[in-house]
Structure 1
Amino acid sequence: MFQFAHPEAFWFFTLLPILWLLRHWRKRKSPTLRFSDVARASGVRKSWRQRFSFLPDFLRLAVFSFLILGMARPQKGTRNLESSTSGIDIMLVMDISGSMKAEDFHPQNRLYVAKEVVKNFIKGRQTDRIGLVIFAKESFTQCPLTIDYGVLLHLVDEVRFGMIEDGTAIGMGLVNGVNRLKDSPSKNKVIILTTDGANNAGAIDPVTAAGVAQALGIKVYTVGIGRPGLVPMPVDDPVFGRRYMQVQSDIDEPTLQKMAQLTGGRFFRAKDPQALSQIFKEIDALEKTKIKVKEFWEFDERFRIWVLLALSVLVFELLFSGTVFRRLP
């Protein structure tokens, strides 16, 4: 950015034509020698001094012009931004129980779709610490809080069935996530819990676990995955190979709703892949990182070059006026 600190100085340019006219008026009033006949001098060619006699006046005007530009204080500005972020700590708590094999999210199963949506959610964050807890009959931490999203995405890909004995310990999964956040210095702590069933394992029930989260100021979003009613479940038979059975989808919505309400979060129900993706986009919009940006400009003064030019031209003008273009009174 380029600017003038005192643009009002440009009004002095209006004086330059006046000074030029005054100078020529004084020249016309200066003493002259009169001759009776100048016909004999009419054929005399003008010398180069006569041709450039205007140069001293021109240099004086240049001096005034450069001084005016210096008075206007030209400045070259550099824009600087200072940003401070208030990151959010997010624990993703994922159900990997056997019921997540259901293929009502055709052509993939529930776990596959959930992992893809979670990975897109991670890629959309920037300065937040994110971790991953998985649960079935028990629960463990797949990835602690980290800002290394590359490592986290790899560990999400590594999640698979059979890592934990089958079951659905929603309460234990939530407590594990809470335990990872309880010592966090962040002011904003969030858990996103995805499940497709009802709690049937673990020593802690989901509502009690939600009460612990509430006491620690942790917000919980609960997401129920799967279509209601009968859904196709793959069964691998050693004799007949893979076949499908219709099983009842059983999601404990009242409990998931109560968990979210206790902690100030929200409950969502995803009945297809598009709905699940939209839910995570909505959560992403609700839990935005606060970024404060302070803008300021640093200006480099450029008036010195114009003052130096004015002084240099003034020296040349005095030199020429006193020697080459010296006028006798």
Structure 2
Amino acid sequence: MNWSNFEFYNPEFLWLLLVLPLVAAWQFFMRKKDTALLTIPSIKGFKTTSFVSKLKPVLYLLRLLALAAIIIALARPRNVAVSKKTKTNSGIDIIMAIDVSASMLARDLKPNRLEALKKVAIDFVDRRPNDRIGIVVYAGESFTQTPITSDKNIVKRTISELQWGQLDGGTAIGMGLGSGVNRLKESTAKSKVIILLTDGVNNAGNIDPRTATELARELEIKVYTIGIGTNGMADFPWSKDPRTGKLNFRKQQVEIDEKLLQEIATATDGKYFRATDNQSLKEIYDEIDALEKTKIEEFKYYNYQEKFRVFIFLSIGLLLLEFVLKNTLFKSFL
């Protein structure tokens, strides 16, 4: 029996088990009245060492056990087998448009902006088992790194392999957003979302961000925008050592076009966020995850296996055993 699925349909009857000690006490004090007495001046010559006579209390025990079985049967013990079936009513197609320009190597997030994003983005993907996700990367230009897919392993591997230097320098926010819109325009999902992340200002590309925003609005694509970078100065890469290949860093003012990002989010019924450190970046993706929930219906099917009959038969068996013993083995002692 699987005890984790065991229950009593009428557990209130189990309170009657508290009566059993009282019944046992009553039988103990009334035991002498159940036996015929013979008054004689002396018991010399009588042998009272019969083993069978000492077993007479077994009859009372059988009666108590039968009563306990009846009480348990009244409580209706049963085993419940539960099977579940889920149905997704409306999946969400999500494009993560990620800035991979050199400035994403700035060290105001640890170890840098790009690596901090990778960790948070992979965790976000793990929490979206019922949605399709695609990856768009952009710098001075943009392209689709992974088309929309339900294969989360592919998406996570793509994110983990993101690196700067794949594209020309600059930050083409309009092209990053436009590529995301292009990927979602044929989507039949009831909800379409772009998560656009950047750490700079639009300074490259041949698509105006506001034009891409208008297209997203017309296609009912919601855009969440994230500006990543601390307030003030940060260590930015500015050159590479030709001998070692290592990047050289220097302090530079963080510049993010927050006004543009707010306009994009507002026009598409999305929301703008600012991530100034690792913790705030994680909280932003947690909030987006909470805002964009896939509707799932869960159906539960219950199969009950009644167990009270076992206790009824047990009580009948115990009472029959008491009756048989009372009229055979213990008959001469009653």
What is the TM-score with the length of structure 1 in the denominator? 0.73
Assess, with a 3 A threshold, how the Cα gap between structure 1 residues 18 and 171 changes in structure 2: closer, same or farther.
same
Q: 1:56 to 1:169 in 2, by over 3 A?
A: closer
2: distance between equivalents of 1:200 and 1:162?
Answer: 15
Match in the other structure for 2:308: 303
Report % sequence identity. 35
The 1:71/1:243 distance shift into structure 2, 3 A limit, reads closer
1:82–1:326 distance in 2 versus 1, CA, 3 Å: same
Question: 1:201 corresponds to which residue?
Answer: 205
Asked whether the equivalents of residues 13 and 74 of structure 2 are also in contact (C-alpha less than 8 Å), the reply is no
- Pick aligned residue for 2:45 from 36, 43, 46: 43
Q: CA deviation at 1:132?
A: 1.0
1:58 to 1:210, Cα distance in 2 relative to 1, 3 A: same
- Residue 248 of structure 1: CA displacement? 7.5
Once residues 296 and 16 of structure 1 are traced to their aligned partners in structure 2, the CA distance between those partners, rounded to angstroms, is 42
C-alpha displacement of 1:45:
1.3
Q: Distance in 1 between matches of 2:113 and 2:310?
A: 66
Q: Are 1:324 and 2:329 an aligned pair?
A: yes
The answer to whether 1:120 aligns with 2:120 is yes
Contact 1:75 1:303 in 2 (8 A): yes
Q: Which secondary structure state, in structure 2, belongs to the residue aligned with residue 264 of structure 1?
A: coil
3-state SS, counterpart of residue 202 of structure 2: coil
Give 1:290 deviation, angstroms: 5.5
Q: Is the contact made by 2:146 and 2:155 (CA closer than 8 Å) also made in structure 1?
A: yes
Distance 1:315 1:252, change over 3 A: closer
Q: 1: CA distance between counterparts of 2:333 and 2:233?
A: 115
SS of residue in 2 equivalent to 1:92:
strand
CA–CA distance in 2 between the matches of 1:316 and 1:230?
89
Counterpart in the other structure of 1:160: 163
User: 1:42-81, aligned counterparts within 5 Å?
Assistant: 42-46=44-48, 47-77=50-80
Secondary structure of the 1:208 match is helix
Query: Is contact 1:92-1:191 (8 Å) kept?
Result: yes
CA 164–328 in structure 1, closer or farther in 2 if over 3 Å, else same: closer
Matches of 1:115 and 1:161 in 2, distance apart?
Answer: 11
Q: Which has the larger radius of gyration?
A: 1
- The 8 Å contact of residues 101 and 169 in structure 2, kept in 1 or not, is answered as yes
- The 1:290/1:119 distance shift into structure 2, 3 A limit, reads farther
Aligned twin of 2:99: 95
What's the counterpart of residue 214 of structure 1?
217
Which residue of structure 1 aligns with residue 264 of structure 2?
Answer: 259
Change beyond 3 A, Cα 1:72–1:104? closer
Consecutive unaligned residues of structure 2, counting only runs of 5 or more, are: none
Aligned partner of residue 146 in structure 2, secondary structure = strand
In structure 1, how many angstroms separate the alpha carbons of the residues matched to 2:296 and 2:141?
Answer: 38
Give the aligned length. Answer: 319
Q: Which moved more, 1:236-245 or 1:255-264?
A: 236-245
TM-score by length of 2: 0.72
What displacement does 1:231 show?
Answer: 7.6
Question: In the aligned structure 2, how far is the partner of 1:134 from the partner of 1:59?
Answer: 79
After the TM superposition, which of the residue ranges 11-20 and 254-263 deviates more from structure 2?
11-20
* Separation of aligned partners in 2, 1:189 and 1:216: 9
Shift of the 224–65 alpha-carbon distance from structure 1 to 2, 3 Å rule, reads closer
Matched, 1:130 2:133: yes
Give the alignment of 1:4-23 within 5 angstroms.
Answer: 4-6=8-10, 7-8=12-13, 11=16, 13=19, 16=23, 20=27
Q: Secondary structure at the match of 2:223?
A: strand
**Does 275-284 or 212-221 show the bigger shift?**
275-284
Q: Secondary structure at the match of 2:46?
A: coil
In the TM superposition, what is the alpha-carbon distance from 1:3 to its structure 2 partner? 4.2
- Structure 1 contact 89–129 (Cα < 8 Å) conserved: yes
